[in-house]
Amino acid sequence: MNELNPSGWRPAMGASAPPDTIETFTGNRALQLEEALLFELGSPDRSGVDFDDIPDFDTALLGPNARKARLDLPGLSEPETVRHYTRLSRQNYAIDLGLFPLGSCTMKHNPRLDEKVARFPGFADVHPLQPVQTVQGALSAINELAVWLIELTGMHGVAMTPKAGAHGELCGLLCIRAALEAKGDPRAVILVPESAHGTNPATAAFAGYRVENIPATTDGRVDVDALKARLGPDVAGVMITNPNTCGLFESELKNIADAVHAIGGYVYCDGANFNAIVGRVRPGDLGVDAMHINLHKTFSTPHGGGGPGSGPVVLSEALSPFGPLPFTSRQADGSMKLIEEEQAHEEHPQAFGRMCAFHGQMGMFTRALTYILSHGADGLRQVSGDAVLNANYILRSLEDVLDAPFGAAGPCMHEALFSDDGFAEGFTTLDLAKGLIDEGYHPMTVYFPLVVHGAMLIEPTETESKAGLDQFIGAMRSLAERARAGDELLKSAPHLAPRRRLDETLAARKPKLVYKPA
Amino acid sequence: MRYLPLTDADRDAMLAVIGAGSVDELFADVPAAARLAEPIAGLPNHASEMAVERHMARLSADNLTAGAAPFFLGAGAYRHHIPASVDHMIQRGEFLTAYTPYQPEIAQGTLQVLFEFQTQVARLFGTDVANASLYDGSTACWEAIAMAARITKRNKAIISSGLHAHYVETARTMAKFTGDELVTSAPELVAEPDDAAVIAAIDGGTSCVVVQYPDVLGRIPDLAAIAQAAQAKGALLIAVVTEPVALGLLESPGSLGADIVVGEGQSIGVGLQFGGPYLGLFGCREKFLRQIPGRLCGETVDADGKRGFVLTLSTREQHIRREKATSNICTNSGLCALAFSIHMTLLGGEGLSKMAKASHMRARQTAERLSAIPGVAVINRHYFNEFAVTLPHDARQVVRDLADRQVLGGVSLGRLYPHVDALSGGLLVAATECTTDEDIETFATTLAEVLA
């Protein structure tokens, strides 16, 4: 008898067999259901949508390129479609299922009010090129979010159109380039710390700059002396992540910014980790000239299995005149104006151009604004406080079993960083990460940042309860001990997931990117 | 605060474990001068779900929605009917709240969807391969131009005058910084697309020719002829599809010889959403595989030999290659790709064909009815579901006058080409299967009224 089964009744049990030796006819394992490919299930004749028949359809106005054969795209009826995608969905891990500790990704709860609001017809069912008089509410929503972003960062302006973080980085660098060119002083080099996310150097290269790396110090921060030594008239600017990818605050950012400004350069801040400081620190107070904000991180628009994101870029007074088109502007009478190419000559003559068609990620704006209004200034401050508290709780609860390379230096920000130091010979970060899958968690970010050997970057976010963190810590301690002891079963983990480890080498050597019938 | 689970007792217990006296102490690395002691002044504090919903509903109500008026806008964003099951399925938390599938053992749902999506896009475009999506059509178009420059080691792109103005602007912005040369011009209000001018402009320094299909005025270029001319000079043909439903009735660009096909996937499954998030589609020849931007999903096997899927060829990407990557893209448009894929699965080849036929028929009915209005002339010889008309007045004002009468009557060319006087009388009109007889009649009578 126990608490859950006070009657003490037990079903009669058959002869026990270890579950992994039981074969099933279907390949399914109870609720773990295999699902064939759409192309093995559907046919072009089947459809889940009804249309009226159009007898005697005339193709004359389509011209000579009118299609001769029907497209070979398989269709399914609605019940089959719903089942196909429901079954597939169950092979995914998700925030809704549990803690998702991916460092620098800020996988926090996605409030459902945000989903509901984004679907209001005034946001979801308006066309981007409708006359401005018919979309005043939509423009107003963009503008309200813009004002919040400016206030929360202490900056001067904001470019709303970038479609993701990397797109925002590009926007910021193009502002810097435009500002330098306007001064007749184009420069060639962007400095990037070696701990930076890969998008930073890729973006700088895409914007036409030569990238030079700046080393990190042993305490996990940018080497300020090395950076200052490299500053010169060819340096357009620096890209710094703050808090950085080691989960630490770059305490010297203001000094760095002053030095960069002194040589006529600009400071780009990667705002991927803004969740750690929102409501407590304004990047504008630290001398930042441009910073993107991943709305899909700090402001909790859903990650959706890899996007869509949204990456508005807040800008200093020096860079604001160069921001891209289009943007919104509130008039004295409260009405909204849209500044596009037509008005740019008079209202925004130095715009560097356009990042994309239309106005940016409206569906993400409405979600983020709803999130921000729900939290308010006090709630957002609590967000960063709890996010940092949760990360430090993990750091201090694990540092006796996992090496925390910067643990001795003081508190971390919103993510805790560990290395593979102390694992048994032949055991790696990947083994521990895959073991976490069997424990029912998504692994943390692994092998990033590059400056720490076998890095494990854990970001719990503020939406985890203490009980949830305690269970995760228990699982991590168990795994750390197994990795230190050299438990062979860990090397072949996961054992309990829908798939075991996948052959990535085969995938890359013989790429199969589309289905081809056998 | 309803989204924050920690209680004050929890916080105290955790601070004790950490050995800190307060949460503020954890921010000791932030210079004191930059640390705010209080919530930022002048901003409202937290609000109930009810209060926030009320505020947002008020903003939503201050718009004339496409569904509430006769609606004829296109120009790169189209209003097709989206089956209810699409939005229902994309809201399953296992899709909605998952991350990029870096841990394939527990992300086979997203990965199989991406593999199916890539296959659907490749078949729709008539290309060998497709990627797992980009941000939108305009950015996909630029990525294709940059990729063509890498492949051909040339940097002059011939842009057809029929490419959407915003796509041209996006490319122009990027080209300014990369040093690529773009040959561009504004479209002319004539019945046929500018195939001849495009072909004449190709020379030995041309990396690619960029042709929208159907073009911004709805005309249908002869891609096969342009492909031949381009390839004869060692240049690539990039076809741009802003209305993929058209391919239910038109031959695919790949089958006509396009080397790279990009597009905007919004019109299938995604919805108008005031311009975003949308869905960049990208397909090309297999031989360009290692130059493709963005994520790719590939088939493989797991340790037990079971079929499975992974993100692959990541040696092209920023997180491995850093400044030498094919693109800086990290996030793509995963959930929109899922919506597109579900809608395409519901349609199938037959359903897409029927949706395309209904759209074309509605466009023909609209064109016929508008042509009967004095002073209004349809320009196109051929079109799918969008065509250009000329009006006797500045179309920008006409569109605003129509909106005052609760009619959303197309996109003025003046909005897209504000500095080209010759286009000021031009209006783009699009129809889909959502368009009704009543919509067409109301549009026509109101337009006649406005012009009178």
CATH code of the domain containing A184: 3.40.640.10
Residue with tokens 């709890």, as numbered in its chain:
A386
Residue A450's pLDDT is 86
User: Residue A432: helix, strand or coil by DSSP?
Assistant: helix
Instruction: Give the pLDDT mean for A245-271.
Output: 96
CB A279 within 8 A of CB A377: yes
Q: Is B125 exposed, middle or buried (0-12, 13-18, 19+ CB in 10 A)?
A: buried
- A210/A222 Cα distance (integer angstroms): 19
Residues A400 and A328 in one domain: no
Q: Extract the tokens encoding B216.
A: 């911004």
Return the axis-axis angle of helices A136-153 and B49-61, rounded to nearest 10°: 130
The yes/no answer on whether domain B69-81+354-451 falls in CATH 3.40.50.10190 is no
Q: Is B434 exposed, middle or buried (0-12, 13-18, 19+ CB in 10 A)?
A: middle
Residue of A nearest to B323 (CA): A202
Whether omega before B277 lies within 30 degrees of 0, making that bond cis, reads yes
- A413/A392 Cα distance (integer angstroms): 7
Residues A248 and A394 in one domain: no
* Rg (alpha carbons) of chain A, rounded to whole number: 27
Residue A68's pLDDT is 95
| pLDDT one-digit tens code per residue, B111-137 | 999 999 999 999 999 999 999 999 999
| pLDDT one-digit tens code per residue, A195-214 | 888 889 989 998 889 999 99
**Share of residues in chain B with pLDDT > 70 (%):** 100
B interface test, pick of A31, A65, A189 with most B CB neighbours within 10 Å? A65
CATH of B84-343, one of 3.30.1360.120, 3.30.450.40, 3.20.20.80, 3.40.640.10: 3.40.640.10
Is A349 among the domain residues?
yes
Residues A326 and A411 in one domain: no
pLDDT of A9 > 70? The answer is no
Q: Residue A497 is part of a domain; what is its CATH number? A: 3.90.1150.10
CB B415 within 8 A of CB B227: no
User: Which CA distances in Å does B95 have to A36, A85, B3?
Assistant: 18, 9, 21
pLDDT of A2 > 60? The answer is no
Residues A355 and A247 in one domain: yes
| pLDDT one-digit tens code per residue, B157-190 | 999 999 999 999 999 999 988 889 999 999 999 9
Q: Extract the tokens encoding A322.
A: 């160069």
Least confident range of A216-230, B93-107, B310-324: B310-324
Least confident range of B208-212, B249-253, B311-315, B446-450: B311-315
pLDDT of B307 > 50? The answer is yes
Query: Among residues A344, A369, A394, which one ends one of the domains?
Result: A369
Residue with tokens 């492909």, as numbered in its chain:
B227
Is A489 among the domain residues?
yes
DSSP A345-373: HHH-TT---BSSSTTS-HHHHHHHHHHHH
pLDDT of A226 > 90? The answer is yes
Q: Please determine whether the domains at B69-81+354-451 and B84-343 fall in the same fold group of CATH.
A: no
- A70/A503 Cα distance (integer angstroms): 36
Is A56 among the domain residues?
no
Query: Among residues A369, A396, A415, which one ends one of the domains?
Result: A369
Residues A413 and A493 in one domain: yes
pLDDT of B351 > 80? The answer is yes
Is A133 among the domain residues?
yes
User: Across the interface, do A62 and B220 touch by the CB < 8 Å criterion?
Assistant: yes
Question: Pick from A177, A280, A309: which is nearest to B177 by CB?
Answer: A177
Residues A312 and A385 in one domain: no
Return the axis-axis angle of helices A466-485 and A362-398, rounded to nearest 10°: 60
Instruction: Give the pLDDT mean for B187-216.
Output: 98
- B277/B274 Cα distance (integer angstroms): 9
pLDDT of B286 > 80? The answer is yes
pLDDT of A326 > 60? The answer is yes
Residue B394's pLDDT is 97
Is A45 among the domain residues?
no
| pLDDT one-digit tens code per residue, B17-73 | 999 999 999 999 999 999 999 999 999 999 999 999 999 999 999 999 999 999 999
Residue A108's pLDDT is 97
Q: What is the largest CA-CA distance in chain A?
A: 86
Q: Which residues pair with B134 in a beta bridge?
A: B280
pLDDT of B93 > 70? The answer is yes
> Mean of the per-residue pLDDT values for chain B?
96
pLDDT of A451 > 90? The answer is no
Instruction: Give the pLDDT mean for A84-92.
Output: 98
Q: Compute the nearest-CA separation of B221 from chain A (Å).
A: 9
User: Residue B445: helix, strand or coil by DSSP?
Assistant: helix
Residues A333 and A411 in one domain: no
Residue B180's pLDDT is 93
Residues A258 and A161 in one domain: yes
| Cβ contacts of A55 within 8 Å, gap of 6 or more | none
Q: Tell whether pTM > 0.95.
A: yes
Residues A348 and A281 in one domain: yes
Least confident range of B175-184, B279-288, B322-331: B322-331
Residues A490 and A364 in one domain: no
Domain count, chain A: 2
User: Across the interface, do B26 and A389 touch by the CB < 8 Å criterion?
Assistant: yes
Query: Among residues A330, A346, A369, which one ends one of the domains?
Result: A369
Residues A123 and A269 in one domain: yes
> Mean of the per-residue pLDDT values for chain A?
94
User: Across the interface, do A366 and B346 touch by the CB < 8 Å criterion?
Assistant: no
Is A434 among the domain residues?
yes
pLDDT of A1 > 60? The answer is no
Domain of residue A121, residue span:
114-369
A116 to chain B: which residues are within 8 Å by CB? 53
Is A296 among the domain residues?
yes
The phi, psi pair for B252, rounded to 5°, reads -70, 145
Residues A309 and A398 in one domain: no
**Share of residues in chain A with pLDDT > 90 (%):** 88
The phi, psi pair for B64, rounded to 5°, reads -95, 110
User: Residue A468: helix, strand or coil by DSSP?
Assistant: helix
A346 to chain B: which residues are within 8 Å by CB? none
Residue A471's pLDDT is 98
A175 to chain B: which residues are within 8 Å by CB? none
- B333/B340 Cα distance (integer angstroms): 11
A395 to chain B: which residues are within 8 Å by CB? 18
> Which residue ranges make up each domain of chain B?
69-81+354-451, 84-343
Least confident range of A195-204, A245-254, A420-429, B371-380: A195-204
Residue B90's pLDDT is 98
Q: Compute the nearest-CA separation of A402 from chain B (Å).
A: 16
Residue A11's pLDDT is 60
A interface test, pick of B328, B437, B450 with most A CB neighbours within 10 Å? B328
Whether omega before B214 lies within 30 degrees of 0, making that bond cis, reads yes
Residue of B nearest to A143 (CA): B59
- A358/B279 Cα distance (integer angstroms): 13
> Which residue type sits at B127?
T
* Rg (alpha carbons) of chain B, rounded to whole number: 25
pLDDT of A464 > 80? The answer is yes
